[in-house]
Structure 1
Amino acid sequence: MSNAQVTTRQAFRRTDDYTPGTPKLKLVKEDLPLPLAPTSVLVKVHAVAINYRDANIANGGNPWPVLPNGILCNDAAGEIIAVGEKVKALAVGDRVGPIIDTEYISGREVGRSWLAADEDGVMADHIVFDEAVLCKLPVYLDWISASTIPCAGVTAWSALKGMSIGQTVLIQGTGGVSMFALKLARAAGLRVVLSSSSDKKLQQMREKFSNPPILTVNYTTTPDWHKEVLELTGGVGVDIVVENGGTGSLVKSMKCTRRGGIVSQVGYLSKQNPMDLAELVSTIIDRRIILRGINAGSKYDTEDFCAALSACQTPLDDIIDKVFPFEQAEEAVQYVWEGKQIGKVVLKL
């Protein structure tokens, strides 16, 4: 292997103490898994992006099992500083990030393994992965922007698959995936309806994306927000929904989707209550909805997205809400947990 003279790393591991007000992360120094396996590479991390999923896991809300005291986060960008002797597709100096489901390469795999859940994540200054689960990131982007691609970016990319110019998309909220989806939708010539519980955030979005204007709806002050979305679309409904509320919003999302339209379920931000799904089956049948689950995307999806970004030289700095130093990971996770961001929150190393 190439010798990078690095044998240890600093990483933030979860405390798994879910008591409100207690630290959710602990900074540790630990040995790297060396020597490298023949097809593995060592990556020096330059930026880690935080998703709501990370804050939810840190606070004990993840609906799937997680590795005890695991390393948090699945969105990162770094530089390869050492490679195993049989690595073929990557080289020292390449800019890379791991896919978030390391079993999801082509899209045909039957298993799954999620970073920061059943295996360690990327909130560390160095990470080791097999070359098969790493993707080259666009060279035109800085580290902070590039770090948002593997999870939030690819999730938005996958959620919007199948859309055509002139169609309408409903995007829920102003978090990282939502802002990525909004940016991609605008670039693809889609009409955007944006929902939020904050009039202030909606006003900021209308000012930021004023030409052509986006349509907005406050789902808190308008409990029957799906009816307002229908009115905004002349009673037809939107063509696709980037749905991140879960049980609390799913049926209403389907009710304001046109017959034969698509609902891409990307998250579960609201409190999950199965009772909210009483009309699920009847609504799917009545409106002929295509409901699809989105778990980011495969390695091939990530490569396609990076190719599209590079071809258009799309800037991503305008969806960065706040950058924290690596040492303030606890504060950054809490910031996301409280929903303060409009866009992405990133740790800089």
Structure 2
Amino acid sequence: MSPPKPTERRAFRRTDDYTPGTPKLKLIKEQLPQTLPPTSAIVKVHAVALNYRDANIANGGNPWPVVPHGILCNDAAGEVVAVGEKIKTLAVGDRVAPITDTENISGRELGRSWLAADEDGVMADYVVFDENKLCKLPTYLDWVSASIIPCAGVTAWSALKGMSIGQTVLVQGTGGVSVFALKLARAAGLRVILSSSSDKKLQQMKEKYANPPLLTVNYSTNKNWHEEVLKLTDGVGVDIVVENGGTGSLVKSLKCARRGGIVSQVGYLGKQNPMDLAELVPTIIDRRVNLRGINAGSKYDMEDFCAALSASQMPLDDLIDSVFPFEEAEEAVEYIWQGKQIGKLVLRV
């Protein structure tokens, strides 16, 4: 006999109080839909992963509008506990996660809707989504590891599109997307150069990924870090840059990409100042660089990525920095906001 359909959920909604030191989240109980839409599913969430984007939204720094008092997070993993009467692709017990941009199914859609921004995110113990916005997750992973796939994993996967064995990639930072990209790139036979503002973090990553040796650059102590990257590539430049900083680092990223290379813009972690882009156009033209914006990826991208993970049985637990109880979401957001993590921070629900 099927368990009774849940009727309410716990969820963390933003306070929208951006004053430093004040709570950014409030735990509330709210009702789930009394009548489940015919092609929707109720998903019991087992783990929620945080990204810098979540802390940025909670602290009022998102460059795009967000729904008032919305629910944070777009990385989660759970199991289907109830389905609508006309659902075709899912069944109770399936392991699933929603896609980050719920309008981006094939990559050809004209609109977009980001979880935790245009609509509520997944920092709750139950969520409801239409079946076309849910992807099945690899069955070999535990809930914590599976929860980092939808946003961080798919973003890294999309950022590395076009890679070939023997190429070189510059990965910026040691956050969730960055460490995911590093792991995928090395598994695919690429040479990785990792940049960070912390020598301590760089040393930790060199010890963790010692074979083959990891090349590193500190962009804080070396203001001309792009020149160091060029030296490490014998003046040629890297084939792909996983660009995380935004305006403060973009031009230098273009300068250390090889002619005809790719810069995948996945984030905007640095202070954004348009004046930093004075050389943008001539640099792009001179180096013939393909600059592409990465907003996670489509549902098809996520399905391809999950298929690759299932085929390779790649472990992801080494990408987890720490796991917090669901009830400590406030502390988790602050941990991310202060940039303490190396890899992913996950809430266990």
Interval of TM-score (by shorter of Structure 1 and Structure 2): over 0.9
Q: Which residue of structure 1 lines up, in the alignment, with residue 301 of structure 2?
A: 301
Counterpart secondary structure, 1:311: helix
Residue 262 in structure 1 maps to residue 262 in structure 2: yes
- The residue type equivalent to 1:265 in the other structure is Q
Q: How does 1:38-57 map to 2 (within 5 A)?
A: 38-57=38-57
Cα distance in 1 between the residues matched to 2:144 and 2:91: 21
Q: Which residue of structure 2 lines up, in the alignment, with residue 73 of structure 1?
A: 73
| Residue 4 of structure 1: how far off its partner (Å) | 3.1
| Residue 5 of structure 1: how far off its partner (Å) | 3.1
- The residue type equivalent to 1:142 in the other structure is D
Residue 180 in structure 1 maps to residue 177 in structure 2: no
- The residue type equivalent to 1:147 in the other structure is S
Q: Let me know the Cα RMSD of the aligned residues.
A: 0.7
Residue 143 in structure 1 maps to residue 143 in structure 2: yes
Counterpart secondary structure, 1:303: helix
4+ runs deviating over 4 angstroms: none
Counterpart secondary structure, 1:161: coil
Q: Which residue of structure 2 lines up, in the alignment, with residue 196 of structure 1?
A: 196
| Residue 56 of structure 1: how far off its partner (Å) | 0.3
Cα distance in 2 between the residues matched to 1:257 and 1:303: 29
Cα distance in 2 between the residues matched to 1:27 and 1:14: 9
Q: How does 1:195-274 map to 2 (within 5 A)?
A: 195-274=195-274
User: Once the two structures are superposed, what CA deviation does each residue of 1:212-271 show, in whole Å capped at 9, x if it has no partner?
Assistant: 011000000000000000000000000000001000000000000000000000000001
| Residue 93 of structure 1: how far off its partner (Å) | 0.1
Counterpart secondary structure, 2:139: coil
Structure 2: where are the runs of 5+ without partners? none
Counterpart secondary structure, 1:249: helix
Q: Which residue of structure 1 lines up, in the alignment, with residue 13 of structure 2?
A: 13
Cα distance in 2 between the residues matched to 1:118 and 1:301: 21
Cα distance in 1 between the residues matched to 2:291 and 2:210: 31
User: Once the two structures are superposed, what CA deviation does each residue of 1:144-178 show, in whole Å capped at 9, x if it has no partner?
Assistant: 00000000000000000000000000000000000
User: Once the two structures are superposed, what CA deviation does each residue of 1:275-328 show, in whole Å capped at 9, x if it has no partner?
Assistant: 000000000000000000000000000000000000000000000000000000
% same residue: 82
* Normalised TM-score (structure 2): 0.99
| Residue 34 of structure 1: how far off its partner (Å) | 2.5
Cα distance in 2 between the residues matched to 1:33 and 1:161: 39
Q: How many residue pairs are counted as aligned between the two chains?
A: 348
Q: Which residue of structure 1 lines up, in the alignment, with residue 162 of structure 2?
A: 162
| Residue 70 of structure 1: how far off its partner (Å) | 0.3
Structure 1: where are the runs of 5+ without partners? none
| Residue 3 of structure 1: how far off its partner (Å) | 6.2
Contact 2:5–2:81 (CA<8 Å) still a contact in 1? no
Contact 2:14–2:72 (CA<8 Å) still a contact in 1? yes
Residue 132 in structure 1 maps to residue 132 in structure 2: yes
User: Once the two structures are superposed, what CA deviation does each residue of 1:67-115 show, in whole Å capped at 9, x if it has no partner?
Assistant: 0000010000000000000000000000000001000000100000000
Residue 96 in structure 1 maps to residue 69 in structure 2: no
Counterpart secondary structure, 1:115: coil
